[in-house]
Amino acid sequence: MNPTNPTPEGACGTPDHISRRTLLRLGGAVGLAWLTPVSRLLAREAEAAPKGRPARSVIILWMAGGPSQLETFDPHPGSKTAFGTRSIRTAVPGIGLAEGFGHLAEVMGDVTLVRSVVSKEADHERAVYNMKTGYRPNPTVVHPSIGAIVCHELADADMDIPRHISILPDQWPARGGYFGAQFDAFQVQDPRGPVQDVANPLARERQERRMKDLGVVEASFGRGRPADLDGATTLHQVTMARALRLMGSDQLKAFDVQQAPASQRAAYGDTPFGRGCLAALRLLEKGVRCVEVTLDGWDTHVNNHKLQGARVGILDPAFAALIRDLKERGLMDSTLVLCGGEFGRTPQLNPLGGRDHWPSGFSVALAGGGIRGGRALGGTDPEGGKKEPRDPVTVQDIHASILHTLGINPAKEIKTPVGRPLALSDGNVVRELVGG
């Protein structure tokens, strides 16, 4: 039995006990009425369980620094908050995007915008943690990111390359948290070049001699050490075997976007981020579960409009090309794409022409994974007077909804290595987002 997952239910099952979170939530909501039969309480937990959704993989387009909702997915042209920002029409009547999203506007029918995301974190590091894990930072535990959860919960055929990958990571890449470092994202840089640190510099014969000599040392080292599940090899030997398998795998070719047709590469844009999005598509075709591609430079405390516009120019063709290619390859329903950053930007400009941190109403875009596109949920106040957006959605609710689309019960509890039970998500599934 897996010590981090000792409960008998499957990835989509209902817990065989009542979580403390459920009791507290129900108790706070209805007072003494929470003293109801156990079957009714279990039904409430089961309500959050997925209903056979097809999504099996995730691509996260991570906008590091905090993109402005007003210059991306929630523009208010002509309003007090726009400061000259204009919008363009999209393929969906009534839904506009900020100027510069000409490519994404054409595929808007496949995209859903959530324009009313709220959080309580306005510091970069804390907000990144919050958005990537669905939890606020806690000194007593490190929570797993979305990709780590997906890889932990969804079974896979054996693969040579990692199933959780971060392309162009910043200083806070996705982590495995209490699932362990083996679920951390495998980090790579611009796919234009070879994958770093995986090429074997030795000839095959010399490598084999080294491994034979190492085997003599391993035999002595292994006595009294923790063994792998087969009871014969040490964890160190397992790690070495995986590394050698990775270095010799043909699956590494998925990173090499130069093998893609020139027309396809051009559609994504001649940028590291565009190449990262194309690599994400190729990796999913090999069976990778989660790919995070980072586009930094959104922290615009000065010269907001110019800097945001430059980022939009990079994001727009890559995002749209990714959606088109997923559809052409029949991967749209089985892949959820999330685009967003750690928070938004203030409705007002500061004296330097910038927008500052704003967690009180920002936007994310989602596509695929069985989510019906062509919609915009919620919205911020065009005049900037109301801090609370219309129909607010919390960060944890976004996480619960993502897990739901992947066939993972967000309410499922996992015991951490120290025996502490924690739910995969502390949010509620947004029914307007996932349907059902």
Instruction: Report all structural domains of the chain as residue ranges with CATH numbers, in order of start.
Output: 15-47 (no CATH), 52-197+251-434 (3.40.720.10), 204-239 (no CATH)
Which candidate, 121, 122, 124, places its Cα nearest to that of 170? 124
What does the alpha-carbon distance between residue 75 and residue 305 come to, in Å, rounded to a whole number? Answer: 12
- What does the pLDDT look like over 265-279, one tens digit per residue? 999 999 999 999 999
| Residue 356: burial class (beta carbons within 10 Å; 0-12, 13-18, 19+) | middle
Tell me how crowded residue 88 is: count the other CB atoms within 10 A of its CB: 15
On the CB side of 93, CA atoms within 13 Å amount to: 0
DSSP class of residue 314 equals: H
pLDDT in tens, 324-353: 999 999 999 999 999 999 999 999 999 999
- Low-confidence winner among 209-213, 273-277, 396-400, 407-411 (lowest mean pLDDT): 209-213
Would you say residue 369 has pLDDT above 60?
Answer: yes
Q: Report the C-alpha gap between 371 and 402 in whole angstroms.
A: 10
Q: For the segment 104-159, what is each residue's pLDDT rounded down to a tens digit?
A: 999 999 999 999 999 999 999 999 999 999 999 999 999 999 999 999 999 776 78
20 has pLDDT over 90: no
**Helix 395-405, helix 146-153: angle, nearest 10:** 30
CA distance 250 to 290: 19
| Residue 97, H or E segment | strand 96-98
Q: How confident is the model at residue 227 (pLDDT cuts 50, 70, 90)?
A: low
Query: Has residue 234 got a pLDDT over 90?
Result: no
Percentage, residues of the chain above pLDDT 90: 70
> DSSP per residue over 384-415, as a string?
S--SSPBS-EEHHHHHHHHHHHTT--TT-EEE
Give the model's pLDDT for residue 241. 61
Provide the pLDDT for residue 39.
37
Beta strands 57-63 and 290-295 are: parallel
pLDDT at 384: 94
For residues 394 and 332, what is the distance between their CA atoms, to the nearest angstrom? 25
Structure-model confidence comparison of residues 266 and 206, the more confident one: 266
Confidence at residue 254, expressed as pLDDT on a 0 to 100 scale? 86
Judged against a pLDDT cut of 70, whether residue 194 lies above it is answered with yes
Lowest mean pLDDT among 21-25, 55-59, 252-256: 21-25
168: exposed, middle or buried (Cβ count in 10 Å: 0-12, 13-18, 19+) = buried
3-class DSSP state of 337: strand
pLDDT tens-digit series, residues 279-296: 999 999 999 999 999 999
Phi, then psi, of 194 in degrees rounded to 5:
-70, 155
Q: Rounded to two decimals, what is the model's pTM?
A: 0.83
Counted residue by residue, the chain has a size of 436
User: What pLDDT is recorded for position 155?
Assistant: 77
